[in-house]
Amino acid sequence: MAVFTAVTLDELTQWMEQFPLGQAVALKGIASGIENSNFFLTTERGEYVLTVFENLDFEQLPFYLQLMRHLAERGIPVPAPVANAQGELVVPLRGKPAAIVSKLEGSSQMDPQPVHCADVGTMLARMHLAAADFPLQQPNLRGLDWWQATMPQVLQYLTPDNAALLQSEVAFQANFAAGTSYAKLPRGPVHADLFRNNVMFVGEKLTGCFDFYFAGVDTWLYDLAVTVNDWCIDLDSGVLDVARVNALLAAYRAVRPFTAEEELAWQPMLRAAALRFWLSRLYDFYAPREAELLTPHDPTHFERILRERIATPAPRLVPQE
């Protein structure tokens, strides 16, 4: 996990008075997640999640929380942020920004089948369309600029072979992103971290997705590639499972058909999505922050996925007639 900031129920008593949620009656640190301190918060009104943001500042947070509110208002199943008496969604707690959101029902489906992947594809496409008129702007802060700035900080820890892979892939992606068809890819606010552990199911029914704290404006195709690289793979090898890929893509394109440029960009985009998480995991692994409990994610998982996406063509976005 990570509870980087310890918060007690006593401390919350006064703080909670600004929210229309009654008294806090229970608080439990959540032992998963690597970015923020999360707590299940029970109040007289119901079940919520309290998040204390460790790495994000007050300037970035309105984008995430307003986006969640925007999506929730349009029927996308995401946690609804709770405003305080002043209408603020982000409020300081222990000197750090904090927010309360509604708790989703269900649990993560860590062994997804095509039926789950189809639900994820439908939700992702609906989310892209629903976010298209979201008025706030923030780039994907884990995009190409971040890759280029972060790579030099981890190269020294890598084997020569991996250092060469990282350098050549960042160069490949810079070239891809500079191309004319890339510029034509549809874009908008995207989740950018829609992994298995960020979606809830009750049985086969998807009940919602959360963790919007890497959201930003990027191509819709990038978001899809991030999602496929987690939901549709064999976790040991990183190899794509064709039945799950096809289920997710068919459900997505039934809501939002793909453009010709997206079809061409699919293979390089799967590599971009693998690179993003290889690099962030390398960074978290070699430059960890202090935490009461912290389990860094394994970087080699995404190194394998990147090598696999370079070596093996993925199923096409739209099957050939």
Ligand X SMILES: Nc1ncnc2c1ncn2[C@@H]1O[C@H](COP(=O)(O)OP(=O)(O)OP(=O)(O)O)[C@@H](O)[C@H]1O
Identify the residue among 30, 115, 141, 294 touching ligand X (CB under 6 A).
30
Which of ligand HSE, ligand X, none lies near 277, with the C-beta cut-off 5 to 8 A by kind?
ligand HSE
Question: CA 206 to CA 306: how far, in whole Å?
Answer: 28
* Site for ligand HSE contains 15 (CB under 6 A): no
Minimum distance of ligand HSE from residue 274's CB (angstroms)? 11
**Interaction between residue 49 and ligand X (CB under 6 A):** yes
State yes or no: residue 211 binds ligand X (CB under 6 A): yes
Q: Which is nearer to ligand HSE, 1 or 255 (CB)?
A: 1
| Given 34, 165, 221, 265, the residue binding ligand X (CB under 6 A) | 34
Beta carbons within 10 angstroms of residue 103's beta carbon:
16
The verdict on 201 binding ligand X (CB under 6 A) reads no
Q: Characterize the bridge pairing of strands 205-209 and 199-202.
A: antiparallel
Nearest distance, CB of residue 155 and ligand HSE, angstroms: 19
Which residue from 133, 129, 74, 70 is spatially nearest to 255, judged by alpha carbons?
A: 129
Among candidates 38, 39, 81, 85, which has minimal Cα distance to 63? Answer: 81
Q: Using the rule CB under 6 A, is 28 a contact of ligand HSE?
A: no
Q: Is 277 in the site for ligand HSE (CB under 6 A)?
A: yes
53 binds ligand HSE (CB under 6 A): no
57 sits in the region (left: phi over 0; alpha: psi -120 to 50; else beta) called: beta
Beta strands in the chain (DSSP E): 24-29, 37-43, 46-52, 91-93, 96-102, 187-190, 199-202, 205-209, 216-219
List residues near ligand HSE by CB under 6 A.
Answer: 34-35, 193, 195, 277, 280-281, 297
